[in-house]
Structure 1
Amino acid sequence: MKVVTHSGTFHADDVFAFAILREALGTFDFARTRETALIETADLVFDVGGIYDVARGRYDHHMRDLPRRPDGTPYSSVGLIWRDFGRNALPKLIPGIDEDLLDAVWQDIDQGFILAIDQADNGVASVNQGHLSLLIEAFNPTWASEQAYDDAFLEAADFARGILVRACQQAHAEAEAQSSVLAAAGKASDPRIIVLNHKLPWEKAVFEGGLRDLLFIIYPNEDSTSWYCRTVPPEPSSFGQRLSLPEAWRGLQEKEFSQVAGIADGVFCHPSGFICGARSQGSAIRLAEKAIAAGH
């Protein structure tokens, strides 16, 4: 297979598009050129050529009638390549990824990572200093450099792959966490309390998974020496609580907290009433049950 993009100065969209294609397609012949004859004979062309035609393997976006996302946002070359080749690239970027999580990870990367490059490349969003797109463009040779543009492009692509791998790992961990939370919810004897075996991000699962009855999350700290009883906020990223911990517990610690809360191994209750802790899972669950009884 022969793959072509444009020569000369490069941007984040063509660099990341190439990095994705290397994972999705494996080995292929690659050329950076603007020569029409070479472009016409290629099997896949992106970010050059003036044609968008998926059936012909043409993925340019620099025409008046350019391809757009369903919401109207213009695609850049990386958005188009990720749309059609991203799912095939993911098993290489995240070895061993569960097939059931592919779509969730693909979507997360598309909306939280690729979209920002599409917007920057098309001038839809402002690009401030430190933006990923500018970091990639910094790999272009300066006027005083003797480095060839093609060599600089490959160097930028290796850098881009590292970023993409880390972004995919983060998205994968988030998808696994969401799956774990929903599985725990399905096993819960009381829909108002979920017990997790690990400390992990749970808020997205609560709100996207429709866990409307959930009031408390129970989970261990990093070294499992204590367990937290955490209130659930009424909406994402809110500091409020669907049900606050009892006023009488707030600000207390250790023995005093244990006596007031009625458990043997209490650790603390935060003054704002959003989290408390105990040294055992069973006590943390009892704290949630006591809080529910006191609040209803």
Structure 2
Amino acid sequence: MLIGTHHGTFHADDVFAVAMLKQIYPNADIVRSRDPEILRRCDIVVDVGHGKYDHHTNEKVYRENGLPYASAGLIWRDFGAQVLATQEAGDASDILIKAIDERLIQGIDAIDNGVEIEKDAKLKTVSELIGGFNPTWHSHADEHAAFAAAVAFATQILTNQIKSEIARLAAVELVASAYEHRLYKEFLILETFCPWSESLFNMDLAKEVLYVIFPDKSGQYRIQVVPKQLGSFEARKPLPEQWAGKEGDELGSLIGIPDAVFCHPARFIAGAKSKDSILIMAQLALQN
């Protein structure tokens, strides 16, 4: 198997495209050239050659949302399910494939196509970090070695994103069940910690839930505020001001809970050693 792409300065879209294909074909050789004769010998060519996976043409392919594909998106579109299969992702559902596209690939594609997007500035950082692997103008470093390093970096980013999306989607039912069976409309009580914010915002349209309660990995319990908006630091109802920054006995004496552990100075999260105590803290915060 030969995977072809262009030589010279590389960008996140061609690096990620190669990283995806290397997940499926780990023994494939990478050929970096713009020579048509050399590229013709390759089994798959990305980001060069005016073929199926080169977006540098006047006949661009667009997503339903109007965002044009770059080579990363075109490869993900056609090979995403196979990439997920290598990650033990189980059934590579259309939901998961779409989620990876929306949260990682679209940002990369947009930047390579010169499309400004406001959504998630972190995606631009990914492209900038990949670009940083290119040898500097006054360097004599091997560009092919630099490309290989960038592919390895992109592979880890892709793997982490897939794991994160699998975990998020797996948590939706847990959050939905906890939301449906609330004893108090203001509290979402999780029996195990899981990603909850996006699922809760999709369910809690009336914005009733103020605090999320869950156990941490040490066996203690946490109460966390629900933000006013997804990704915001402003809470629907912050924890009490007098708790801010207090820990252990000082916090316990203040609120009458001996096993209180801490309250963050920003008042967005607090902890106690037992579930009963964290529920009392939740009630106190609600009444405050």
Which residue identity is paired with 1:90? L
User: SS where residue 4 of structure 2 aligns?
Assistant: strand
Residues 124 and 198 of structure 1: CA distance in aligned 2, closer, same or farther (over 3 Å): same
Distance in 1 (CA, whole Å) between partners of 2:154 and 2:204 is 36
Between Structure 1 and Structure 2, how many residues are aligned? Answer: 278
Q: Which residue of 2 aligns with 1:217?
A: 212
Q: Which residue of 1 aligns with 2:112?
A: 121
Distance in 1 (CA, whole Å) between partners of 2:189 and 2:35 is 61
Q: Which residue of 2 aligns with 1:196?
A: 190
Per mean C-alpha deviation after superposition, the further-off stretch among 173-182 and 244-253 is 244-253
**TM superposition shift of 1:24:** 3.0
User: SS where residue 49 of structure 2 aligns?
Assistant: coil
User: SS where residue 73 of structure 1 aligns?
Assistant: coil
User: SS where residue 113 of structure 1 aligns?
Assistant: helix
Q: Which residue of 2 aligns with 1:46?
A: 46
Q: CA offsets, 1:231-263, max 9 Å, x none?
A: 4334324455545667998888313412xxxx6
Which residue identity is paired with 1:17? A
Residues 25 and 219 of structure 1: CA distance in aligned 2, closer, same or farther (over 3 Å): same
Residues 267 and 133 of structure 1: CA distance in aligned 2, closer, same or farther (over 3 Å): closer
**TM superposition shift of 1:151:** 4.5
User: SS where residue 17 of structure 1 aligns?
Assistant: helix
Residues 38 and 270 of structure 1: CA distance in aligned 2, closer, same or farther (over 3 Å): closer
Contact 1:15 1:157 in 2 (8 A): yes
Residues 69 and 195 of structure 1: CA distance in aligned 2, closer, same or farther (over 3 Å): same
Q: CA offsets, 1:188-234, max 9 Å, x none?
A: 45554322234444222211244644333112345233x23334334
Contact 1:257 1:267 in 2 (8 A): no
- Of residues 49, 58, 63 in structure 2, which corresponds to 1:69? 63
Q: Which has the larger radius of gyration?
A: 1
TM-score by length of 2: 0.74
Gaps of 5+ in 1: 52-57
Contact 1:257 1:268 in 2 (8 A): no
Q: Which residue of 2 aligns with 1:254?
A: 252
Which residue identity is paired with 2:68? P
Contact 1:269 1:277 in 2 (8 A): yes
Alignment of 1:124-135 (within 5 A): 124-125=115-116, 131-135=125-129
- Of residues 97, 106, 116 in structure 1, which corresponds to 2:89? 97
Distance in 1 (CA, whole Å) between partners of 2:109 and 2:100 is 12
Contact 1:257 1:269 in 2 (8 A): no
Distance in 1 (CA, whole Å) between partners of 2:110 and 2:59 is 17
Q: Which residue of 2 aligns with 1:22?
A: 22
Q: Which residue of 2 aligns with 1:55?
A: none
**TM superposition shift of 1:62:** 0.6
TM-score by length of 1: 0.72
Alignment of 1:257-272 (within 5 A): 257-258=255-256, 266=260
User: SS where residue 60 of structure 1 aligns?
Assistant: coil
Q: Which residue of 1 aligns with 2:140?
A: 145
Q: CA offsets, 1:72-114, max 9 Å, x none?
A: 222211111122212321232x3x33437x5554344323322
Distance in 2 (CA, whole Å) between partners of 1:112 and 1:125 is 15
Gaps of 5+ in 2: none
Q: Which residue of 2 aligns with 1:54?
A: none
Residues 254 and 71 of structure 1: CA distance in aligned 2, closer, same or farther (over 3 Å): same
Residues 104 and 210 of structure 1: CA distance in aligned 2, closer, same or farther (over 3 Å): farther
Q: Which residue of 2 aligns with 1:31?
A: 31
User: SS where residue 222 of structure 2 aligns?
Assistant: strand
Distance in 1 (CA, whole Å) between partners of 2:260 and 2:101 is 44
Which residue identity is paired with 1:220? P
Distance in 1 (CA, whole Å) between partners of 2:3 and 2:265 is 60
2:6 is equivalent to residue 6 of structure 1:
yes
Q: Percent of aligned pairs with the same residue? A: 36
User: SS where residue 214 of structure 2 aligns?
Assistant: strand
Contact 2:225 2:237 in 1 (8 A): yes
